[in-house]
Chains A and B, each alone.
Chain A
């Protein structure tokens, strides 16, 4: 049962244009969402996150949008650069309770390969 889904395995955009990566989730207990970027043979690198109390978070060229009613989030990269070419994973975690049973555990999507052409 895939609780976090990235339905587009790949995305190709032109340099300077906007890249939009999408992610859907099914678990209504998720309340914190993150995007990671990964190059081949390396570990993922944290990009940006958003709490469920917000609907938008921006950091430079990266903006994450959260639509809780649709259980959907997206990552916008503007403008896209060739160095942005990588695999992008969205991830989600449940509320951390007093017992700590969801202590930062992340559930990842399958990833989307972004290719930015010069």
Chain B
């Protein structure tokens, strides 16, 4: 089955610790995206990548980092600089342009 896989589903972070969220897609999509959802709010764009080895900051990139070394993979690192990391993180991919984005099932990150 083609789709987007995010892991883990739940993640706990200690203060001062970096954590990495995994996102893998087998849809052969060029573009990939990371969003954050907070309660009662819409999705906000963290980073996006149009093509391998290229990525751009979204609206709320501070405290996050990404890499795009393979077409299939777009991991997101939540660094210790992100002061309010507790949220639901969603990864998406698309064929590009105005093609609809397809989402994974998300990772819920909490602070211990």
Residues of chain B lying within 8 A (CB to CB) of residue A107: 45
Main SS of the interface on chain B? strand
CA distance A17 to B58 in the complex (A): 39
Contact B98 A32 (CB under 8 A): yes
CA distance A49 to B100 in the complex (A): 8
Contact A110 B48 (CB under 8 A): no
Residues of chain A lying within 8 A (CB to CB) of residue B97: 96, 103-104
Contact A104 B94 (CB under 8 A): yes
Assign chain B's interface to a size class: 20 to 34
As a 0/1 sequence over residues 75 to 113 of chain A, the CB contacts with chain B under 8 angstroms (1 = contact) are 000000000000001010100100010011111111100
CA distance A2 to B65 in the complex (A): 25
B31 at the interface (CB under 8 A from A): yes
B81 at the interface (CB under 8 A from A): no
Nearest CB of A to B91, in Å: 8
Contact A109 B42 (CB under 8 A): yes
Residues of chain A lying within 8 A (CB to CB) of residue B75: none
CA distance A104 to B94 in the complex (A): 8
Nearest CB of A to B83, in Å: 22
CA distance A89 to B42 in the complex (A): 7
CA distance A57 to B15 in the complex (A): 48
A105 with B42: in contact, given A43-B4, A51-B98 (CB under 8 Å)?
no
CA distance A96 to B102 in the complex (A): 18
CA distance A9 to B31 in the complex (A): 31
Contact B104 A43 (CB under 8 A): yes
**B101 contact from A9, A46, A109, A111, Cβ within 8 A:** A46
Contact A42 B106 (CB under 8 A): yes
Beyond known contacts A32-B98, A44-B43: 16 more, CB 8 A cutoff = A36-B103, A43-B4, A43-B92, A43-B104, A49-B100, A103-B31, A103-B96, A104-B33, A104-B94, A104-B97, A104-B98, A104-B99, A105-B48, A106-B101, A108-B43, A108-B44
Going nearest first, the 4 A-B pairs with the smallest beta carbon separation are: A43-B103, A108-B42, A46-B100, A108-B43
